[in-house]
Structure 1
Amino acid sequence: MARKFAINSLPADVRAELSENYHKYPAWTLNDHVDWLIGRGYAVSRSAVHRYLSPKAEDSAKPEPHAEQLRLRCLEVAASIYKGEDSAELKALAESLIAWVKLPD
């Protein structure tokens, strides 16, 4: 049977804050994250923190596929239907189209 993942034994709010810190403080090292956990009373190994944060690094490094094309296409559609002169309103319309496109099925 596989070993229990040490980070999963932490409370959900601590895991969420650890993930938030990972994105909030990109200059933090593994030791900084481990020290942060120790400061909260949780003794977790450096390797466990690395295993937990590694997929998050990959996720944050991957851009959304075709995001630029989607934004440009929505801006084109918005420009074709928008009759005003305000570029901020045009961008807002394009953003609403992007949000609509990203809605789950």
Structure 2
Amino acid sequence: MFKQSITVNELPEDVQAELLQLRNMHPSMPLNSHLSWLRGKGYEVSRASLARFFDIKGVALNSEWECRRQLIDAAERRREMCLEMANRVYVGNDPKELIAIAEDFLSWIEETEISHKVPPEASL
């Protein structure tokens, strides 16, 4: 059972601090994920209240479309870097083998990033 809907300013100070820390650690995290995180802690807060809170605290908000674009751009840069690394170590002529090596690099990077992902209770 959720508590009655409140404004973010009515949240306990430690929850507000955690919320700001979560935002700082994951700046591209959509507002809906923050709302889900708060719901997981038993607080029902409106999207508008959350946006006002971040605005008052001077936290820049990106549109969800811009966040997705940034994630896609980052993924593309990561793929390009892996292909460049593969090209440096591969001595053959087969493009398929080169791509396979790049994909292995990418898999390794993604496996090592697990500790930096958004906590499960914060994701949608």
TM bucket normalised to smaller: 0.3 to 0.5
| TM-score with structure 1 setting the length | 0.48
| TM-score with structure 2 setting the length | 0.41
Which protein shows a greater Rg? Answer: 1
